[in-house]
Amino acid sequence: MICPESLETGLEQTFRHILETRMQGMPIIHERLVVQAVDFRWWDGHCLGVLITPWFLNLMLLPAEGDDWRGLRVGEKVDHVFPSGRYEFIIGEEEALGRYQMCSLFSPVFEFADQEAAVATARAALAAIMDEENRDTSGFAEQIKAFCWCGEPEAAEAVSGVLPAPRRLTRRTFLTGGQAGKEVE
């Protein structure tokens, strides 16, 4: 079932306005791309699709009518499970649109030759997340995420021997590129 056209239209209008105002002159703008909502459909009570802009390509979730996601804070992360696995979305809000959830696929978007390539990629991404053949059943991606971003000791034990042990990063190591205390030739 297709989402109401008014949701796609409102999404496009909002991000066109952002392009014409806040994004003017930004170096991350891909001049061959335009704002376009691609293949929005109902999924798990929300409208799901891809939004293409000249600066990003994101999976987007829009709330059903009567649901404004006010219980969620802007910037909060929410996981959604699709047939291909778990994906992290971030809560965003625009005055003209209200709250929405986004999952970045590409940002910036300079790798796309043109709008046609971006639309094809958007459609392929939507198909891929709905295909359980793409599910990572090893759990390795979750272990890496926990280890790299959270520093959880349990995750470190789970991937020990698989990933190199992390070095403690100090300000001195960062500023000297790890050369502090070493004789430099």
pLDDT at 65: 74
What DSSP string runs through 11-75?
A: HHHHHHHHHHTTTTT-TT--TT---EEEEEEEETTEEEEEEE-SS-EEEEEEPPTT---TTS-TT
pLDDT at 7: 86
pLDDT at 145: 55
pLDDT at 172: 52
Q: How far apart are the first and last CA of the chain?
A: 66
Q: What angle do CA 23, 25, 27 make, to 5 degrees?
A: 90
pLDDT at 163: 46
pLDDT at 70: 84
Q: Is 82 exposed, middle or buried (0-12, 13-18, 19+ CB in 10 A)?
A: buried
Query: Beta partners for 103?
Result: 59
The CA distance from 125 to 58, in Å, is 10
DSSP 3-state assignment of 92?
Answer: strand
Compute mean pLDDT per 10 residues along the chain, 185 residues long, and list them.
85 97 95 97 94 98 82 94 95 93 96 97 96 79 53 48 49 52 48
Q: Token pair for residue 86?
A: 């778990």
pTM of the model: 0.74
pLDDT at 184: 45
> Which structural domains are found in the chain, ordered by start?
5-134 (3.30.1460.40), 140-175 (no CATH)
pLDDT at 159: 45
Query: Beta partners for 52?
Result: 36, 57
